[in-house]
Amino acid sequence: MKQWVTGKGRAVHQVMGGAWNVYALTNDGNMILVDTGRRYRWGTLQNRIEHFRSRCSPWALVLTHTHFDHAENVARLKEALPLKLSVH
- Tens digit of each residue's pLDDT (9 = 90 or more) over 22-48: 999 999 899 999 999 999 999 999 999
- Burial-class residue 37 by CB neighbours within 10 Å (0-12, 13-18, 19+): buried
- Tens digit of each residue's pLDDT (9 = 90 or more) over 45-66: 999 999 988 889 999 999 999 9
CATH class of residue range 11-87: alpha beta
DSSP letter for 9, please. Answer: S
Q: What is the pLDDT of residue 20?
A: 80
Residue spans of the domains in the chain: they are: 11-87
